[in-house]
């Protein structure tokens, strides 16, 4: 029994030392990574802020364009119609050889 108790005490001491070493390793890693993490967080804040500003600008432009009658997708339809009309003009102005 005493031998088992001593063995358990030795195991517990070993586990405690291993845990202390792990804690020290974690603390070292944290002290190395923390400044980089803070820097990355600051950079992300500025990127998110810039993205939000772009969204606001886009929304404002859409509002301004809608006030003058612009509709999304309408310009594509107009381009297609223009192309069709140009094709018709080309066909009508073609000189056909007469035999």
Which tokens belong to 81? 């119609």
Q: Please report, for the chain, the start and end positions of each structural domain, with discontinuous segments joined by +.
A: 2-93
* The pLDDT value given to residue 75: 81
> Predicted confidence band at 99 (pLDDT cuts at 50, 70, 90)?
low
Of the two residues 54 and 98, the one the predictor is more confident about is 54
User: Which single residue is written with the structure tokens 């069709």?
Assistant: 84
Region 66-91 average pLDDT: 88
Distance of alpha carbon 58 from the chain centroid? 18
Region 43-59 average pLDDT: 92
């Amino acid at each position: 029994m005493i031998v088992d108790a001593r063995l358990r005490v030795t195991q517990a001491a070993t586990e405690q030392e291993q845990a202390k070493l792990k804690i020290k390793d974690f603390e070292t890693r944290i002290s190395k990574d923390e400044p980089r993490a803070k820097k990355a967080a600051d950079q992300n804040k500025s990127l998110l802020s810039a993205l939000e500003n772009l969204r606001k600008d886009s929304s404002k432009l859409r509002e301004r364009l809608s006030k003058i009658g612009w509709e999304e997708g309408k310009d594509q339809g107009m381009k297609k119609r223009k192309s069709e009309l140009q094709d018709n003009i080309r066909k009508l102005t073609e000189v056909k050889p007469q035999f």
